[in-house]
Amino acid sequence: MQRLECHVKKYKWGKQGSESEVARLFAAGHKNFEVDEDETYAELWMGTHPDGPAVLSNSSTRLSTFIAKSHSASYLSNNNWKEDIHLPFIMKVMSIARSLSLQVHPNKVIVHLEFLCIFSDIVI
């Protein structure tokens, strides 16, 4: 098991300061972090997404690189070695103060069927 340094996202709809569970969780794992009571903390990302990649605490190695070098990760890369392997999800803790839109990321089949005139070149 590896301890991760995760990524905090600050959006206007997040809870402010120490009211945010995201801020409290991040502060619990970072002794030098001080919660800014004027800042909103919305999401704590745990994953490999390039906009907020987690890194291993003990080495600053990106989680995607660690997974790629792991012998147990071959099923994620179709048995081809890759420098980075990105997980097909982002684990998030969210602190929500205001309404926000629901985001849905459809798969290729749904996109192809819904927008056939635009994405006719997609092979399913």
Backbone angles phi, psi at 79, to 5 degrees: 65, 15
**Is residue 120 in some structural domain?**
no
Tell me the residue range of the domain where 95 lies. Answer: 4-99
Question: Containing H/E element for 8?
Answer: strand 7-9
Q: State the pLDDT at residue 121.
A: 56
Distance CA 108, CA 86 (A): 18
**Is residue 113 in some structural domain?**
no
CATH number at residue 81: 2.60.120.10
Tokens coding 58: 């003990």
**Is residue 110 in some structural domain?**
no
List the pLDDT tens digit at each of the 124 positions of the chain: 889 999 999 999 999 999 999 999 999 988 899 999 999 999 999 999 999 999 999 998 999 999 888 866 655 555 555 667 788 889 999 999 998 877 777 776 776 676 666 655 555 5
**Is residue 119 in some structural domain?**
no
pTM above 0.85, yes or no: no
Nearest to 45 by CA among 63, 65, 58, 28: 63
Strands (E), 36-100: 40-41, 43-46, 55-56, 91-94
**Is residue 108 in some structural domain?**
no
Our count of domains for the chain comes to: 1
